[in-house]
Amino acid sequence: MKKDQPLPIPIRPRRLRRTSGIRRLFSETEVAPSRLIAPLFVVDGLGKPEPIPSLPGHYRFPIPAILREAHRLARRGVGGIAIFPCISQNLRTPDAKEALNPKGLIYRAIHAIKKEFPHLPVFADVALDPYTSHGHDGLLNRTGSDVDNDTTVRLLMKQAVLLAGAGADFVAPSDMMDGRIGLIREALDQAAFPEVGILSYAAKFASSLYAPFRDAVGSSRSAGTSALDKRGYQADPGNRRAILRDALLDEREGADLLMVKPAGPYLDIVRDLRESTRLPLAAYQVSGEYSQIHAAAQKGWVDLRKARDESLLSIRRAGADLIFTYFAQDIERVRL
């Protein structure tokens, strides 16, 4: 064999990777803006948006400003928005009564957004942590030692109906209480909201990566810590079979789509669920995932755009149909 003669390698996978055009032709996974849901934080008042230090590039928006942001996102083709309220500390109580105030911040914000942008899908969180003085996602029992499942679910049913009445396209129970999906579905139907969907946070793990989000909505300040122990209702990070059981229970109770949260550290769960259900599947790239990439980029340790795009592609490749991500505001199309 001559020195410059090609080796007898008949099958060469690199043929399909030779140029950028060829790579684009055979790309199996890409992330379009329409697959992304942008989380937004709303506060009362008419002032300027408030920067969130732990979430670079993100703000708490007063309602007039969140309308402008929603318009910008809609023009970019983002698939939808998820609204989270940051209410005043003096409105946070042990019984979370502000959650059922029909004139409360979240209801006014959703109503304003849907009036202005009726075709922009809005996901509304169903949980009590923005409203409780102790920072938990539900109401505590009489001794204060644990979240009371059934009392919490009764309140969540009412909250979901109010969110639907404000115009939410999907209510999104993120509390991880037992039985809440079926009971919320029943409450919505009885209140004449059969068209409102339920996104279940079916696989929400007790993660350390929620701290910037808790800072954004003020629940960490309510509790006096960003490391509030929620392992009594959120899933054990080491468990795989148990969370699949939870998710499939939610499907049987009437969830329209399922969520895995966080996304990046739990791609195996995303894949497990993709292979176990025909429902649409969402994954939430949480605040800590976003902030880690930004922090490493600020140090010069990673390229921000490349790390961002790779992280989103991995979530999509694992099987997520939708990605809730704080990068949604900046994405045109991801295809490495």
What range defines the domain where residue 276 resides?
A: 27-330
**pLDDT band (50, 70, 90) for residue 290:** very high
Q: Which of 9-13, 25-29, 178-182, 187-191 has the lowest mean pLDDT?
A: 25-29
Cα–Cα distances in Å, from 72 out to 38, 50, 81, 87?
A: 11, 18, 11, 24
Q: What is the pLDDT of residue 221?
A: 59
Q: Determine the Cα angle at 247 with ends 152 and 40, to 5°.
A: 65
Specify the DSSP class assigned to residue 205. Answer: B
Tell me whether residue 303 is in a domain. Answer: yes
In a domain, 320, yes or no: yes
Q: 203: closest CA among 249, 251, 160, 258?
A: 258
Distance CA 94, CA 128 (A): 10
d(C-alpha 167, C-alpha 158), whole Å: 15
Mean pLDDT in the chain? 93
> Does the annotation count 2 as an active-site position?
no
Residue 33, Cβ neighbours under 10 Å: how many?
18
pTM (two decimals): 0.93
Position 1 scores a pLDDT of 64
The per-residue pLDDT for range 292-302, each reduced to its tens digit, is: 999 999 999 99
Annotated catalytic residue 204: yes
Instruction: Answer yes or no: is 20 within a domain.
Output: no
Is 244 part of a structural domain of the chain? yes
pLDDT at 54 over 70: yes
Which residue is catalytic, options 114, 204, 230, 299?
204
Asked if residue 17 belongs to a domain, the reply is: no
- Residue 8 maps to a domain: no
pLDDT of residue 304 exceeding 60:
yes
Asked whether residue 6 is domain-assigned, the answer is no
Q: Checking DSSP bridges between strand 197-204 and strand 322-325, what pairing results, if any?
A: unpaired
pLDDT at 336 over 80: no
Residue 334 predicted with pLDDT over 60: no
- DSSP code, position 128: S
Q: Which of 114, 158, 230, 261 is catalytic?
A: 261
Indicate the number of domains in the chain.
1
Determine the pLDDT at residue 3: 76
Question: Residue 111 has what pLDDT?
Answer: 98
pLDDT, tens only, 150-193: 999 999 999 999 999 999 999 999 999 999 999 999 999 999 99
Q: Judge whether 157 lies within some domain.
A: yes
Assess whether pLDDT exceeds 60 at residue 84: yes
Task: List pLDDT tens digits, range 198-254.
Answer: 999 999 999 999 999 988 898 765 555 556 789 999 999 999 999 999 999 999 999
CATH number of the domain bearing residue 116 = 3.20.20.70
